[in-house]
A and B are shown apart, each in its own frame.
Chain A
Amino acid sequence: MAENGKPKLALYWGSSCGGCEIAVLAIHEKILDVAAAFDIVFWPCVMDFKYSDVEAYEDGEIDVCLYNGAIRNDENLHIAQLLRRKSKVMVAFGSCAMEGCMPGLANFKDREQMLQFIYKDSPSTDNPEGVLPQLRVEVPEGDLELPEFWNTVHALDQVVPVEYYLPGCPPEAHWIEIAVGAILSGELPPPGSVIGMNVTVCDECPRTRSEKKITRFYRPQEIIPDPDICLLDQGLFCAGIATRAGCGALCPSVNMGCRGCYGPNEGVVDGGAKLIGALASVLDAETPEEIDAILDTLPDPAGYFYRFSLAHSLLTRTRLEMEGKAPVASPYAEVPRLDPSLKN
């Protein structure tokens, strides 16, 4: 508690897009309640604080830290550890901190592939000398250090213990209100809890469902879906069947399949595996050839199934083979097909 009796609140962004910061402001005028109820001690996005300010706090002096963003370099890790030490309660705020989210998709590549594309190959890059980020640079004022990029993006609880999780990309405003209200009232769920619902997006989705028999998949640009019928019934990939509810089925309500940003439902170890199981079982096919023909209409399955959860999935990333010192990610290039002899 601060001298004025208010609990101390810190907000930080690791590897993130800034959407979670905007989501905090999306609670509109209730942000004034937050400002009135808490003593904000660290929020780099909107207030001028330095890391040294945080270092100067006593251990455990911050009551609540809302940490958004994934952990992908030394700086992210350093601040996550620092805030963990200084905070009584650590909240993984949003999909990046909870399970890696978009930054976690970098785990389909390795560091060298990432740097090669971003700093050399991407069409919008102008870097004729091929300069790559350096860990140390000499300037007249002295040596400058930059944080080191990792091969693997991590979720927050893979590097420090976390008390609560607030899912979503970004979390919906009413869930932020609920979380803040719970913190203020002290009526918090047991540590380790996800602040959210225990059903899937389908339970909130207004569309009409029937027994599923998928004969082919369509990409969103290929058809204009019926506005009232389940998108999956129409062959559009929708992750709602294996995604935690809480958003009010926002995407399916506007003719777009659920992306899966609220992450796997309660008790699920690997959300992608659940999607594979649920989706494959409703294909309308009984022979290896029929099955492969339908699956050929679903490009990039790993991207669909692990769009938000890759960094926190069981496999975490693509396989890295250690050749010499530099690891190389080596996905199998060909699409594997079922053995035709499985027909009988």
Chain B
Amino acid sequence: MCTGRLDPTFVIKALREGADGVLVMGCHPGQCHYEAGNYKAMRRMGLLRRTLAQFGVHPDRIRLGWASAAQGVQFTETVIDMTDDIVKLGPLQWNDTIEDLGVGAFATHEEAVHG
């Protein structure tokens, strides 16, 4: 999808559901078919990384890059580069972090009401 359509919810949901990092790649500035989609993406990713840093998500786990349809090499290099960064950081395992704490949610309504 267009990076301008990328709701920050998608990135956060990926992390919550087990992703160790999220790479967002779009068209170069000045080359957006819709004029401003990639600029919006850049602003959102800037703010999202700042917000997630406060949650303890290392900014290297959230990356923005550009590649046109003719830039397969750049795309590959970015993916390899980011993969290396993530390997250094290790797994994020957000679900484990949450589930280990406090109380587990009840499996069913029945279980909660009748123990």
Contact = CB atoms under 8 A, between A and B. Distances in A.
Interface residues of B, number: 49
Contacts, number: 161
A276 to B, nearest CB: 4
Interface stretch (A22-30, A50-58, A77-85, A197-205): A77-85
Interface in A330-344: 330-332, 334-339, 342-344
Contact of B109 (A161, A270, A302, A336): A161
Nearest to B97: A320
Interface SS majority for chain B:
helix
Contacts of B15: 314-315
Interface of B: 7-9, 11-13, 15-16, 28-30, 39-40, 42-59, 64-66, 92, 94, 97-98, 100-103, 105-106, 109, 112-115
Interface of A: 59, 71, 77, 81, 84-85, 108, 150-152, 154, 158-161, 269-270, 272-274, 276-277, 279-281, 283, 285-286, 288, 291-292, 295, 298, 300-303, 305, 313-322, 327, 329-332, 334-339, 342-344
Contact of B29 (A59, A151, A286, A300): A286
B57 A280 contact: no
Contacts of B53: 331-332, 334-336
A277 B28 contact: no
A339 B49 CA distance: 12
A109 to B, nearest CB: 11
B6 to A, nearest CB: 9
Contact of A276 (B8, B102, B112): B8
A305 B115 CA distance: 36
Nearest to A154: B102
A338 B94 contact: no
Contacts of B66: 342, 344
B59 A277 contact: no
Contact of A315 (B12, B28, B30, B43): B12
